[in-house]
Amino acid sequence: MTTPRKIIIDTDPGQDDAVAILLALASPEEIDLLGVVAVAGNVPLPLTEKNSRIICELAGRSDMPVFAGCDAPMKRKLVTAEHVHGKTGLDGPQLPEPTMQLQAQHGVDFIIETLRAEPAGTVTLVPIGPLTNIGVAFRRAPDIIERVQEVVLMGGAYFEVGNITPAAEFNIYVDPEAADIVFKSGAPITVMPLDVTHKALTSAKWISDVKALDTNVGHMVASWTDFFERFDTEKYGSQGAPLHDPCTIAYLIDPGLFQGRFINVEIETTSELTLGMTVADWWGVTDREPNAMFIGSVNDTGFFRLLTERLARL
Ligand code: BDR
Ligand code: CA
């Protein structure tokens, strides 16, 4: 038996963030979730930290430490995405008030202390929101960078280009300076860009399978997906909603579901027009050093089968 991978999820829930956290909590054989750190992103920090607690409680894990990290990007004003996720960030079902407490420690300190305390090369960071907390941690404590096992993040795009601007994906656009620090850090990076997440589309059949679980988790996830779906079906004319963030956790559980290329990826931080673009050398047209495994495709049948199977455990 392999030992489960120790991870920290850095998140801005977000319906798809919620599914990612639930998938991690449902997969103790592969994933040892050390803590959840909230960041400002889809909605402001007071909501993302509250939502993180709601999600852990929904999974029966009120013992999971949840931290609040940064409430604004490193250099810019916060941009949010209520137009996608609704006012609460988790619009769809009726949300319970969480009863578990937020940890007193700042989320960035938790990231730094955990990486220093655990053996080097044994903790994976999973950012599924803007990269602010990770960028601040790497800037403040550069000694932790070489201790990171891997950064498996959702963000960016090459073929799909942008979803918040014509050129940029939301997570990278919100804090391009933080993303730049992470991509230049030298830590091993795996990226789930829109190129792959737009292939992980929910279907009516999947939503009905999840409803049919007839559990609290099943009903919440179905209702979150129903809400979240309307944005992408209207915008892209796609069949369902892309489950962006759960791709990171599914990759950690079963990397064989995904394929990509180890390439150079750099972040645009100066141009107003293309701010936050992930300039990905997919075709190898430069001699810039590869720094990231950039995922391009997913076995969607296997991905959704894994999700249903795992959510059924909660
Ligand atoms: C990313 O932005 C957020 O809206 C989602 O939660 C996901 O992390 C997709 O661009
Ligand atoms: Ca997110």
Domain count, the chain: 1
DSSP strand pairing (258-263 vs 292-298): antiparallel
> Is 70 exceeded by the pLDDT of residue 38?
yes
> What would the pLDDT profile of 204-227 be if each residue is shown by its tens digit?
999 999 999 999 999 999 999 999
Cβ–ligand 1 contact at 128 (below 6 Å): yes
- 173 vs 155: CA distance, rounded Å: 9
Ligand 1 pocket test, pick from 42, 132, 192 with the greatest ligand atom count within 8 Å of Cβ, gives: 42
* 81 Cβ below 6 A of ligand 1: yes
Contact 131, 182 (CB under 8 A): yes
Residue 16 has pLDDT above 80, yes or no: yes
* DSSP per residue, 172-186: HHH-HHHHHHHHHS-
Give the mean model confidence (pLDDT) for residues 94-110: 97
Tens of pLDDT, residues 160-169: 999 999 999 9
Query: What ligand 1 atom has the least distance to the C-alpha of 81?
Result: 4
pLDDT of residue 312: 98
Q: What angle do CA 220, 248, 250 make, to 5 degrees?
A: 70
The share of the chain scoring above pLDDT 70, in percent, equals 100
Could you tell me which residues come within 8 angstroms of residue 189 by beta carbon, excluding any fewer than 6 positions away? 150, 151, 152, 153, 182, 183, 265, 291, 292, 293
Alpha carbons 314 and 309: distance in angstroms, whole number: 10
Strand-pair partners of 148: 123
Ligand 1 centre from 245 Cα, in Å?
7
| The pLDDT of residue 138 | 99
Mean pLDDT score, 134-160: 98
Residue 257's domain spans which residues?
5-311
pLDDT of res. 251: 98
Predicted local confidence at residue 229, as pLDDT: 82
Q: Does ligand 1 have an atom closer than 6 angstroms to the CB of 268?
A: no
Give the residue-averaged pLDDT of 265-279: 98
> Is 17 touching ligand 1 by the criterion CB < 6 Å?
yes
19 lines ligand 1 (CB under 6 A): no
Asked if the model's pLDDT at residue 260 lies above 90, the reply is: yes
Nearest ligand to residue 38 Cα: 2
Beta pairing class for 31-38 and 66-68: parallel
Rounded-to-integer distance, Cα 133 and Cα 163, Å: 22
Q: Which ligand is nearest to the CA of 16?
A: 1
pLDDT at 238 over 80: no
In the reported structure, the alpha carbon of residue 106 is separated from the centroid of ligand 2 by a whole-number distance in angstroms of: 20
DSSP state of 257: G
Asked if residue 232 has pLDDT above 80, the reply is: no
CATH of the domain at 288: 3.90.245.10
Query: Is 244 among the residues known to form the active site?
Result: yes
Cβ within 8 Å of residue 121, ≥6 positions away: 147, 148, 149
Q: For the whole model, what pTM was predicted?
A: 0.98
Mean pLDDT value across the chain: 97
**Range from 19-28, 116-125, 188-197, 238-247 carrying the lowest mean pLDDT:** 238-247
Would the CB of 247 count as within 6 Å of ligand 1? Answer: no
pLDDT class of 234 with cuts at 50, 70, 90: confident
What pairing do the DSSP bridges indicate for beta strands 123-127 and 292-298? Answer: unpaired
Catalytic residue among 106, 198, 219, 244: 244
Q: Closest ligand 1 atom to the C-alpha of 169?
A: 10
Confidence class of residue 1 from pLDDT cuts 50, 70 and 90?
A: low
